[in-house]
A and B are shown apart, each in its own frame.
Chain A
Amino acid sequence: DVVMTQSPLSLPVTLGQPASISCRSSQSLVYSDGNIYLNWFQQRPGQSPRRLIYMVSNRDSGVPDRFSGSGSGTDFTLKISRVEAEDVGVYYCMEATHWPPYTFGQGTKLEIK
Chain B
Amino acid sequence: EVQLVESGGGLVNPGGSLRLSCAASGFTFTDAWMSWVRQAPGKGLEWVGRIKTKTDGGTTDYAAPVKGRFTVSRDDSKNTLYLQMNSLKTEDTAVYYCSTLNGVPLNDYWGPGTLVTVSS
Residues of A within 8 A of B (CB): 1, 37-39, 41, 43, 48-51, 54-55, 58, 60-61, 90, 92, 94-97, 99-107
Within residues 84 to 118 of chain B, which ones have a CB less than 8 A from any CB in chain A?
A: 97, 99, 101-105, 107-108, 110-113
Residues on A with beta carbons closer than 8 Å to the beta carbon of B37: 49
In the complex, whether B11 has a CB less than 8 A from a CB of chain A is no
26 A-B pairs (CB sep. < 8 Å): A1-B64, A37-B104, A41-B45, A48-B110, A49-B37, A49-B110, A50-B108, A50-B110, A54-B105, A55-B105, A60-B108, A94-B103, A96-B102, A96-B104, A99-B61, A99-B103, A100-B47, A100-B50, A100-B61, A101-B61, A101-B62, A101-B63, A101-B64, A102-B35, A102-B103, A107-B45
The reply to whether B44 and A103 contact each other, CB–CB distance below 8 Å, is: no
Residues on A with beta carbons closer than 8 Å to the beta carbon of B99: 49
Give the size of the chain B interface in residues (CB under 8 angstroms): 24
Within residues 18 to 68 of chain B, which ones have a CB less than 8 A from any CB in chain A?
A: 35, 37, 44-47, 50, 61-64
How many whole Å from A64's CB to the nearest CB in chain B? 17
A23 to B45 Cα, complex, angstroms: 15
Residues of B within 8 A of A (CB): 35, 37, 44-47, 50, 61-64, 97, 99, 101-105, 107-108, 110-113
A60 to B102 Cα, complex, angstroms: 12
Closest to A52 in B: B108
Residues on A with beta carbons closer than 8 Å to the beta carbon of B45: 41, 43, 49, 92, 94, 104, 107
Ranked nearest first, the 5 interchain pairs of A and B with the lowest CB-CB distance are A96-B103, A37-B103, A100-B61, A51-B108, A102-B47
Closest to A95 in B: B103
Residues on B with beta carbons closer than 8 Å to the beta carbon of A50: 108, 110
The reply to whether A104 and B97 contact each other, CB–CB distance below 8 Å, is: no
A95 to B104 Cα, complex, angstroms: 11
